[in-house]
Amino acid sequence: MDKSWQVTLIYFITHLGLIFFMYPGDIIASTEDGHWIPIVLGFAVHLGAIAVYMKGLVRLGNRDIVSMYLGMGKGVSLLFLLPITVYFLLICVVSVRCLSEIMTVVFLSSTPLWAIMFLFLFISSYIAFKGIRSIFRTGLLIGCINVPVILFFFSASFQNVDWRYVYPLIGKSSFLTNPSYLESFFVFAGGFLFLGFTQPYVAYRKRHIVFGALALLPFFVFSVYIPILTFGQATASTFNFPFVVALDTISITWIMFDRITLFLLLSLISFMMLYLSIVLWSAMRVVNQSFPSLKPAYILLAIPLFVFIVCLYIPDWKDITEFYWWGTYLRFYILVAVPLSTCFFAGRIRKRKVGL
């Protein structure tokens, strides 16, 4: 059955969850002016990667990429599956630790960190445990509940905007080598990988994903520009999470709650949970297909446990950013190698079939 709509929605909302936390800070730190250039550049890379990846997946037909790599022999699967797994684990560690840190900074000052991390991991592994189809359906429900909230507060966040802060429009190209800019690719890499995993369970039309990606562009742009337009570049660069602070400056007087914009953040966190559950599930698939003797349920218990322990051993924010930075090389490897190799191998498989 065609599930394009669901897959696109999941793709959309998981990226929404990813965008608003670290991305604005990274982009603002990476350049002083003309922020739209790095955003659009990063987005173009993302779009290109997706287009190639989708092309490969179409050629691959009704299989997932894990079985494709495994079918290509031990060397190939080690070359690709090992980095993918490590990268998934890294994503889990970084996002869980990051989110819980953000939560204690902006919201729950007296709740211990481990409790928040436990909650995040518990929920995402529970959802992952229910299987990919269930994840998609959860996404549908939670999307119906949360997307209106998010759109409402997102449009409300233009309240304090001074459009003249847009200028100057043209900036230098020095951002290309800025570590913050390279880190910002966290948003672009990794979020799309799951599209190659869903194949035998959920079929979808690949073109829809590109539309979904295009719909994300305004969110990429404004997640960066809302803090800039509210505060100006000089001020926005002093914040760790510019978008979160920008949200805090909004006052909507006719609602009975005061810091209402926190609801936007928390809805986004629900999306992040969904993203984490997809990552956990994908990691489980890789491990499970490489070692079929391991039971999926045990893998799904072991991975979050491992992540939890690693998270507990990260003491402070500096180490998180370090972790974040380590992931960069892997990130670019994934962003480039996985789509290209999928396209290449899928083409070969197809040719072989035709040849027979």
Minimal distance in Å, beta carbon 137 to other proteins? Answer: 4
DSSP-derived 3-state class of residue 205 = coil
Minimal distance in Å, beta carbon 149 to other proteins? Answer: 10
Contacts of residue 34, Cβ cutoff 8 Å, sequence gap at least 6: 168, 169, 170, 171, 172
Cα of 219 vs its chain's centroid, Å: 13
Is residue 2 involved in binding other proteins (CB under 8 A)? no
Please state, in angstroms and rounded to a whole number, the distance separating the CA atoms of residues 194 and 213.
14
| C-beta of 138 vs 328, nearer to other proteins | 138
Near other proteins by CB under 8 A: residue from 123, 147, 336, 340: 123
| C-beta of 141 vs 354, nearer to other proteins | 141
Q: What is the torsional sign of CA 195, 201, 202, 206?
A: positive
Footprint of other proteins on residues 292-351 (CB under 8 A)? 296
- DSSP one-letter string for 164-202: GGG------GGGGG-HHHHHGGGTTSSSSGGGGTSTTT-
Binding mask 187-206 toward other proteins (x if CB under 8 A, else -) reads -------------xxx----
Q: How big is the site for other proteins, counted in residues (CB under 8 A)?
A: 65
Best CA proximity match to 132, nearest among 57, 67, 195: 195
Minimal distance in Å, beta carbon 131 to other proteins? Answer: 5
Give, in order, the Cα–Cα distances in Å from 307 to each of 97, 219, 225, 238, 284: 9, 29, 33, 31, 13
Q: Which amino acid is at 107?
A: F
Name residue, tokens 């436990």: 118
Contacts of residue 230, Cβ cutoff 8 Å, sequence gap at least 6: 160, 161, 162, 165, 236, 246, 249
Binding mask 141-180 toward other proteins (x if CB under 8 A, else -) reads xx--x----------------x-xxxxxx-----------
Footprint of other proteins on residues 31-70 (CB under 8 A)? 32-33
Is residue 133 involved in binding other proteins (CB under 8 A)? yes
Name residue, tokens 């039309």: 205
Is residue 108 involved in binding other proteins (CB under 8 A)? yes
| C-beta of 281 vs 345, nearer to other proteins | 281
Minimal distance in Å, beta carbon 302 to other proteins? Answer: 16
Footprint of other proteins on residues 238-297 (CB under 8 A)? 238, 245, 248-249, 251, 253, 256-260, 262-263, 266-267, 269-270, 273-274, 281, 285, 296
Name residue, tokens 């889990």: 92
End-to-end CA gap in the chain: 29
Minimal distance in Å, beta carbon 159 to other proteins? Answer: 11
Near other proteins by CB under 8 A: residue from 79, 86, 106, 147: 106
For the chain, what is the radius of gyration of the CA atoms? 20
Contacts of residue 56, Cβ cutoff 8 Å, sequence gap at least 6: 196, 339, 341, 342, 343, 344, 345, 346, 347
Minimal distance in Å, beta carbon 289 to other proteins? Answer: 11
Considering only 7-15, 69-77, 229-237, 319-327, which stretch makes contact with other proteins by CB under 8 A? 229-237
Contacts of residue 8, Cβ cutoff 8 Å, sequence gap at least 6: 204, 208, 209, 211, 212
| C-beta of 21 vs 188, nearer to other proteins | 21
Minimal distance in Å, beta carbon 310 to other proteins? Answer: 22
**202: its two tokens:** 């959920």
Which residues of the chain form contacts with other proteins (CB under 8 A)? 1, 32-33, 103, 105-112, 115-116, 119, 123, 126-127, 130-134, 137-138, 140-142, 145, 162, 164-169, 200-202, 231-232, 234-235, 238, 245, 248-249, 251, 253, 256-260, 262-263, 266-267, 269-270, 273-274, 281, 285, 296
